[in-house]
Amino acid sequence: MPRYFPDKKTKATTMEVFAALQTGWRTLFRQDVSDEVIFVLLAQWTIETGGGLSMHHFNLGNLKAVENGDHDWTFFSCNEFLVPARAQALLAKASARKDGKPGLNVTVDSALNEEGKVEVWVHPNHPGCCFRVFHTLEEGVVGYLQSLQNRFPKAWSVLELGDPTKFSRALSAQGYYTAVEAKYTAAMVYHFNHLKNVVQKEQDRQWVIESLHYLGHEGSYDKMVRAFQKKHGLKVDGDVGEMTTAKLQERLAAVSDEATEIP
């Protein structure tokens, strides 16, 4: 039976979420997924959770819930951008906060943004800050993907293009977020490109570590790289540049050839 859980933040690294999204997609849909699609999803996760620093109960996309509804739920403060009339209507129905802090559970900033909206903060236990609870990262990934597919079909239909701009605009059109579309889209594009570099560098680093282990080196990353460079007459700087990469590939090929020689 669904129940309430006190709010808590749950940590996951970019690489953990990247891997979980790939696995979750294959499990749900029984097919592989392009890295570009995963990077689009990873970019949205970064926006919605501050790069994982503000991910609550493994809720990757800040999916809303209903108190005493069909899913486990929690409450935490969040903001929306609404037209002034709607903001004032929410404020008129505000009540005392129930998270131990003073004030009302709705606050409104009167300044208008580029789209003529005002920033509204809702606090526990306002229905607008009721969110789904997931108990593992894997569960959160499944809930996130299913919600996108079922509740935001237009955004889902363009997701396969791996285009953060089109995905962001489709999300906006279907009301996924209330932030300024141009700003959210710009952030999506930035994080999409940045995360591609982050993941590629981490994958390259893991390849180096695994390769050096295979070649018999042990210790920290820096120690192994420097030892390899010294052994093969390379510049000993701990940087895996073109020369070190080429020598690694050469040694891996040589070892592989030796292992497959017929006696």
Per-residue pLDDT at 258: 63
Per-residue pLDDT at 256: 73
Per-residue pLDDT at 74: 98
User: pLDDT tens digits for 107-147?
Assistant: 999 999 999 999 999 999 999 999 999 999 999 999 999 99
Per-residue pLDDT at 178: 96
> Where do runs of H (alpha helix) occur along the chain?
14-29, 35-49, 84-92, 137-151, 153-159, 164-173, 181-214, 221-231, 242-260
Structure token digits, residue 122: 């809702």
Per-residue pLDDT at 260: 54
Per-residue pLDDT at 255: 85
Per-residue pLDDT at 163: 98
Q: How far apart are CA 192 and CA 168, in angstroms?
A: 11
Low-confidence stretches of the chain (pLDDT < 50) are 262
Distances (CA, A) of 223 to 206, 233, 238, 240: 15, 16, 8, 12
The pTM of this model reads 0.87
The segment(s) of the chain belonging to CATH 1.10.530.10 are 14-65+132-195
Number of CB atoms found within 10 A of residue 203's CB:
12
Structure token digits, residue 103: 């004030």
Tell which residue, 103, 113, 2, 17, has the closest CA to residue 59. Answer: 17
Q: How far apart are CA 224 and CA 233, in angstroms?
A: 14
Q: Which CATH architecture has domain 14-65+132-195?
A: Orthogonal Bundle (1.10)
Q: How far apart are CA 41 and CA 199, in angstroms?
A: 13
